[in-house]
Structure 1
Amino acid sequence: MGKRGYHHGNLKQALVDAALGLIETKGPTGFTLSEAAKNAGVTPAAVYRHFEGREDLIAECARQGHEIFADLMAHAFNGGEPSALAAFEATGRAYLAFARRFPGHYMAMFESGTSVNATPELAAAARRSSAVLEHAAEELSNHIPPEKRPPPSMFSAHIWAMSHGVVELFARGRPGANAPFPPEDLLEAGIGIYLRGLGLIAPDD
């Protein structure tokens, strides 16, 4: 790569891209700032023009991940069309798609140990991404009588946890990934059971 990214004023993004590649191959704690600088084609000292250290660099990777994640989830939700149920299920599938397509971002967001409050920018991006799923849950739970309606934040947290579990166990090539069912089917079945329990979809005959 040389120092082309730096000369073109893209050093910060070049470092983020280098870090994402290292996160994918070595994990979020398996690389050094010097390695990221080398892969970006700059000296380690140049990193400090944009980042205080490795944790700050990982936080930026996570921030960008949450922005991408929010965009994908919002696109999947599609304003609640063609129905609140279909839109909600689509957001679950978007979670799996994001983890597969952007593994470096996913690991920076959820496996690095970086707090979502590490920077104000990361906190704002994380709130935006979680708000999409929470809004989808709220739209769907409007069909439940108010006295039986769970808080949207709890509703969305349950689905988020289920989606995350399917990704970690079956969708990322880890031990146990060779499940007898595709991850999408596992998630769809789990969401279906959950929604039946809330009375949002009819029980199976």
Structure 2
Amino acid sequence: MPKRGYHHGNLRQALVDAALELIELRGPTGFTLSEAAKQAGVTPAAVYRHFEGREDLIAEAALQGYEMFADLMDYAYQSGQPSALAAFEATGRAYLAFARKHPGHYISMFESGISINRTPELAAAANRANGVLEKAAADLSQHIPADKRPPASMFSAHIWAMSHGVVELFARNSPGRASPFPPEDLLESGIGIYLRGLGLVAPDR
């Protein structure tokens, strides 16, 4: 791979960017720190001035990913206001868009085995992202009678799991697997079925 080079004072980010490329190509365990250093155009010893090891480097990629993800989810939520339904659906689409646009970050966040509790900063960023979807679920579920209303955390977890499943199976070019429908359509219809089951969307006529 060609050396990337870096500007003085930006080595840390150059290493993260190199790791993201390698993660996208080979997965979170498919590269070494030496390869990340080579990709960034520095010596392996330089890596240890910024990161203790490969997991530390991946954790930084995950942190940056969660920060971007939380911002995107919040933007999607705000763009759907004042309609609670539109805001909720927008967050689902934002999830899929993020996974497609930032695959290296997505893998670091959800497939690397790095705990979100590794650092307080990582936990805060991950919780902020989850909080947006949970708030969207809480807003929408206010229309459900209290005795039949699922907890917002359960509601949002169901949609998160559905979104993640669509990404993993059909939006990431899984070997040997072809999507029977566009991933966006699968996610939208799946969310629609879920919301109809809760009485939040009128049945199809």
Using structure 2 for the length normalisation, give the TM-score: 0.95
Shift of 1:4: 3.2
Deviation per residue, 1:58-96 (Å, 9 max, x gap): 000000000111111111111651411011111111111
1:189 maps to which residue?
Answer: 189
Task: Answer yes or no: is 1:54 the counterpart of 2:23.
Answer: no
Structure 2 stretches lacking a partner, 5+ long? none
User: Which residue number corresponds to residue 64 of structure 1?
Assistant: 64
Percent identity over paired residues: 77
State the match for 1:158 in structure 2.
Answer: 158
Question: Residue 200 of structure 1 corresponds to which residue in structure 2?
Answer: 200
SS in 2 for 1:63: helix
Letter in 1 for 2:113: G
What does residue 118 of structure 1 align with?
A: 118
Task: Say yes or no: does 1:104 pair with 2:104.
Answer: yes
SS of residue matched to 1:42: coil
Offset at residue 201 of structure 1 (A)? 1.0
Structure 1 stretches (4+) deviating beyond 6 angstroms? Answer: none
Contact 2:4 2:41 in 1 (8 A): yes
Match of 1:42 in 2: 42
Q: Deviations over 1:134-160 (max 9, x none)?
A: 111111111111111111111000000
What's 1:4 paired with?
A: 6
Q: How much is the aligned-residue C-alpha RMSD, in angstroms?
A: 1.3
**Residues 1:144 and 1:2: Cα distance change in structure 2 (over 3 Å):** closer
Is the contact between residue 6 and residue 40 of structure 2 (CA under 8 Å) also seen in structure 1? no
SS in 2 for 1:4: coil
Cα distance in 2 between the residues matched to 1:158 and 1:3: 43
Cα offset for 1:114? 0.7
- Indicate whether 1:14 and 2:14 are aligned: yes
1:42-62 Cα distance to aligned partner (Å, 9 max, x none): 111111111111000000000
The 1:175/1:3 distance shift into structure 2, 3 A limit, reads closer
CA–CA distance in structure 1, aligned partners of residues 167 and 57 of structure 2: 24
CA distance in 1, matches of 2:51, 2:197: 47
Show the counterpart of 1:167.
Answer: 167
Q: Distance in 2 between matches of 1:87 and 1:4?
A: 40
Residues 155-187 of structure 1, C-alpha deviations (whole Å, 9 max, x = no match)? 000000000000001111113642221111111
The alpha-carbon distance between structure 1 residues 2 and 65, as it changes in their structure 2 partners (threshold 3 A), is closer
The one-letter code of the counterpart of 2:165 is: G
Shift of 1:199: 0.9
The alignment status of 1:86 with 2:51, answered yes or no, reads no
Q: Which amino acid aligns with 2:167?
A: V
Partners of 1:169 and 1:176 within 8 A in 2: no
Q: 1:177 to 1:136 in 2, by over 3 A?
A: farther
SS at match of 2:113: coil
Would the aligned equivalents of 2:80 and 2:90 in 1 still touch at CA under 8 Å? Answer: no
> What is the distance in 1 between the residues matched to 2:79 and 2:144?
19
Aligned to 2:76: 76
Structure 1 residue ranges without an equivalent (≥5): none
